């Protein structure tokens, strides 16, 4: 007869990670060994520094508080489906935290000896437990676990998409261009020019013996080392690097990098002792890679129309999705995507400049602001930009501004064409308020700093994340120097900026429930930007400004720099850096899944595992806000 109690246990466990990774037969077998515990409110499950139990626990009903008694400090509040007490399984040492029933609770006690074999059998089970164990320590982002959370480690990466990792076979050129080794370099160069190839294969008795490339002619002939009348055998690179025809794009890339060459010779058996079948160049490989960053960058720079860039940006989005699917670390992903986005903006500006009759009358700088200025704009969102132009005589000021407003209007229109919507608040360079001379910008930011009301703090928070997209860097450097000089003279500004950083409430309320929007178009949605990302972004900004840290706008990188400057807060700032990347990755995935900005999330669509990962970052946000409140003496949030 079927054990109805164990069947109920299995039905419950299969809804939660990591048990949802297990085969039903294994889960049924495990469930028969699970003990059911009833705990009254306040009853102790295990003590801090207590001897390890033979079980770890999952909450069926109720709640359990994890506490460090020495500081009377609540570390976490676990509810239905949460796992705790993993230390005996993971580390075989005494508990570092105490666990007590927060309310009347029913627990499932899973025997460690029975469960341990499943961690070897199921990779997903092992990975999840590593994360859960790390998150229930005092510092879930400590160096001990650095690289082991949220896909930052190969161990946590999913099965690799072969198409995205370029494992398809490469197409090579079968139209061989060959020459005997006694041919003069001059004739070889003429033949290469006529056939429009970058390399000539040198053969003897039908077998490859050497290769001459454009680079060889540059380095050995143009430099005078050999005369142009020299024979091929004197100049060619030998022996030839050969490979079999059945090689993948990835193998071809690795072979070229390994040997420092740009052409491969493909033969019947992959050796120089059999007939040549074809040639493969670096250019051929790049063409095969459609969404390779280098290919996309080259395509962007060659684009002559806005609509061309729009099509390329769609491929950039495909590249982003591929990186996320492969679990590529967000640090690398954001750098690649940001570089491509910046290149798109720069090309829009280049095209706009060509469309205007007259060239710029004075030096100028186009600034990206907000998420784009922080290199965090992975999804298509609206524009935030500004323009600085060189100081001119007052009589010419309006004339010069008129030129740059016309130019900015063309750029903003171009950016909209390629996918950046207009800013609803008109924080764009085509707005006269955001198209100013250097002296006017200095005056403007000085006013924000010396008169820090709510609106001024908001404007400065958006503007102070600027980054140069195009133009004269000296204008930007001079404005940056002015900002740091002014904030040093008026430190009261940091108090107001810190107050602004504390305006966004905690992401969770009582019993770790997500705080959702109470009204409006997004009622009952969770705002991941306002509730989770903005406290980190705003906190990083005020802390880096107070340290006068220059040239670092990215939030995660700001926290990493702060960790270096403040060793006593290294743990917290490292956690903030990780949390920023985790949240940005989460928002990007949500946006790609729902074809929107990823900002507003329906909690019902999240898995238990996704909710757990989100909540892990919330502890860090709370600690950061406490630090800011104390440091800048903000009396109230």
- pLDDT above 50 (res 145): no
Residue 15: the pLDDT is 82
- Mean pLDDT score, 557-563: 94
Task: Give the chain's largest Cα–Cα span.
Answer: 96
Residue 168: the pLDDT is 57
Q: What is the rounded CA–CA span in Å between residue 532 and residue 548?
A: 25
Q: What is the rounded CA–CA span in Å between residue 594 and residue 525?
A: 14
Structure tokens at 63: 């709640």
Q: What is the rounded CA–CA span in Å between residue 548 and residue 566?
A: 14
Phi/psi of residue 337, each to 5°? -65, -40
Tell me the pairing of strands 105-111 and 55-61. Answer: antiparallel
Using one digit for the tens of pLDDT, what is the confidence trace for 396-436? 999 999 999 999 999 999 999 999 999 998 999 999 999 99
Residue 422: the pLDDT is 93
- Whether the full predicted model's pTM is greater than 0.85, yes or no, is no
Using one digit for the tens of pLDDT, what is the confidence trace for 342-388? 999 999 999 999 988 888 999 999 999 988 889 888 887 789 999 99
- pLDDT above 90 (res 231): yes
Report the b/e string of 23-62 with b at 16+ CB within 10 A.
Answer: eeebbbebbeebeebebeeeeebbeeeeebbebbbbbbeb
Q: Between 59 and 287, name the one with better pLDDT.
A: 59
Neighbours of 421 (CB within 10 A): 11
Please report which confidence band the pLDDT of residue 73 belongs to, taking 50, 70 and 90 as the band edges: low
Please report which confidence band the pLDDT of residue 551 belongs to, taking 50, 70 and 90 as the band edges: confident
Using one digit for the tens of pLDDT, what is the confidence trace for 470-502? 999 999 999 999 999 999 999 889 998 998 888
- pLDDT above 50 (res 112): yes
Phi-psi region of 49 (alpha: psi -120 to 50; beta: other; left: phi over 0): left
Q: Between 148 and 504, name the one with better pLDDT.
A: 504
Q: Between 271 and 284, name the one with better pLDDT.
A: 271
Please report which confidence band the pLDDT of residue 143 belongs to, taking 50, 70 and 90 as the band edges: very low
- pLDDT above 60 (res 540): yes
Residue 141: the pLDDT is 40
Instruction: Give the list of residues 6+ apart from residue 629 with CB closer than 8 angstroms, or none.
Output: 498, 502, 637
Please report which confidence band the pLDDT of residue 272 belongs to, taking 50, 70 and 90 as the band edges: confident
Using one digit for the tens of pLDDT, what is the confidence trace for 438-468? 999 999 999 999 988 888 888 888 888 999 9
- pLDDT above 60 (res 14): yes
Please report which confidence band the pLDDT of residue 2 belongs to, taking 50, 70 and 90 as the band edges: low
Q: Between 483 and 251, name the one with better pLDDT.
A: 483
Using one digit for the tens of pLDDT, what is the confidence trace for 151-177? 333 333 333 343 444 445 667 777 788
Among 42-46, 207-211, 253-257, the least confident range = 253-257
Three-state secondary structure call for residue 49:
coil
Q: Which helix H or strand E contains 32, and what residues bound it?
A: none
Residue 282: the pLDDT is 77
Residue 564: the pLDDT is 93
- pLDDT above 90 (res 190): yes
Using one digit for the tens of pLDDT, what is the confidence trace for 209-226? 999 988 889 889 988 899
Question: Measured between alpha carbons, how far is residue 264 from residues 7, 69, 267, 271, 571 in Å?
Answer: 61, 66, 10, 12, 49
- pLDDT above 60 (res 637): no
Q: What is the rounded CA–CA span in Å between residue 22 and residue 20?
A: 5
Structure tokens at 426: 């008109």
Q: What is the rounded CA–CA span in Å between residue 287 and residue 282?
A: 9
- pLDDT above 80 (res 90): no
Provide the edge-to-edge strand list for the sheet that holds 385-389: 435-437, 385-389, 364-368, 467-471
Residue 158: the pLDDT is 34
């Amino acid at each position: 007869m079927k054990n109805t109690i164990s069947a109920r246990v299995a039905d419950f466990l299969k809804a939660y990670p990591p048990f949802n990774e297990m085969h039903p037969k294994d889960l049924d077998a495990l469930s028969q060994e699970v003990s059911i515990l009833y705990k009254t409110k306040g009853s102790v499950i295990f003590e801090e520094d207590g001897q390890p139990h033979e079980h770890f626990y999952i909450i069926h009903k109720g709640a359990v508080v994890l506490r460090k008694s020495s500081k009377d400090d609540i570390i976490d509040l676990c509810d239905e489906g949460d796992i705790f007490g993993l230390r005996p399984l993971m580390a075989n040492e005494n508990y570092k935290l105490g666990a007590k029933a927060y309310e009347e609770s029913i627990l499932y006690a899973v025997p460690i000896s029975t469960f341990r074999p499943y961690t070897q059998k199921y990779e997903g089970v092992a990975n999840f437990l590593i994360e859960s164990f790390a998150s229930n320590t005092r510092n879930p982002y400590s160096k001990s676990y650095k690289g082991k959370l949220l896909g930052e480690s190969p161990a946590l990466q999913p099965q690799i998409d072969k198409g995205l990792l370029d494992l398809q076979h490469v197409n090579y050129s079968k139209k061989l261009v060959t020459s005997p080794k006694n041919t003069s370099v001059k004739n070889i160069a003429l033949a290469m020019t006529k056939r429009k190839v970058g390399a000539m294969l040198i053969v003897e008795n039908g077998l490859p013996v050497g290769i001459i490339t454009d680079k060889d002619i540059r380095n050995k002939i143009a430099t005078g080392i050999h005369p142009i009348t020299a024979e091929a055998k004197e100049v060619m690179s030998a022996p030839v690097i050969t490979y079999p025809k059945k090689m993948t794009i990835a193998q071809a890339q690795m072979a070229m990098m390994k040997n420092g060459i740009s052409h491969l010779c493909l033969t019947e058996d992959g050796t120089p002792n059999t007939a040549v079948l074809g040639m493969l160049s670096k250019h051929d490989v790049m063409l095969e890679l459609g969404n390779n960053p280098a290919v996309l960058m080259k395509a962007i720079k060659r684009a002559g129309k806005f609509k061309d860039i729009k099509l390329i940006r769609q491929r950039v989005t495909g590249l982003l999705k591929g990186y996320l699917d492969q679990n590529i670390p967000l640090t690398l992903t954001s750098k690649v995507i940001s570089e491509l986005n910046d290149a798109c903006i720069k090309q829009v500006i280049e095209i706009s400049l060509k469309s205007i009759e007259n060239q710029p009358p004075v030096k100028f700088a186009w600034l990206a602001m907000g998420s784009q200025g922080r290199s965090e704009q992975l999804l298509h969102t609206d524009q935030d930009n500004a323009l600085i132009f060189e100081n001119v005589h007052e009589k010419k000021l309006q004339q010069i501004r008129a030129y740059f407003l016309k130019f900015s209007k063309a750029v903003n229109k171009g950016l909209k064409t390629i996918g950046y919507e207009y800013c609803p608040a008109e924080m764009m360079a085509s707005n006269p308020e955001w198209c100013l001379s250097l002296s006017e910008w200095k005056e403007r930011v000085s006013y924000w700093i010396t008169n820090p009301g709510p609106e001024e703090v908001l404007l400065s928070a958006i503007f102070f994340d600027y980054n140069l997209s195009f133009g004269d860097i000296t204008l930007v450097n001079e404005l940056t120097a002015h900002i740091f000089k002014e904030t040093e003279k008026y430190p009261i500004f940091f108090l107001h900026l810190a107050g602004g950083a504390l305006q966004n409430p905690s992401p969770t309320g009582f019993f770790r429930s997500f705080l959702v929007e109470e009204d409006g178009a997004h009622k009952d949605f969770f705002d991941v930007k306002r509730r989770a990302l903005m406290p980190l972004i705003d906190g990083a900004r005020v802390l880096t400004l107070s340290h006068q840290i220059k040239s670092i706008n990215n939030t995660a990188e700001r926290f990493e720099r702060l960790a270096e400057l403040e060793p006593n807060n290294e743990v917290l700032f490292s956690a903030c850096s990780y949390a920023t990347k985790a949240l940005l990755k989460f928002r990007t995935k949500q946006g790609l899944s729902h074809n929107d900005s990823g900002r507003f999330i329906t909690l019902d669509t999240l898995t238990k595992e996704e909710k757990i990962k989100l909540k892990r970052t919330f502890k860090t946000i709370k600690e950061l806000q406490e630090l800011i409140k104390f440091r800048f003496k903000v009396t109230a949030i």
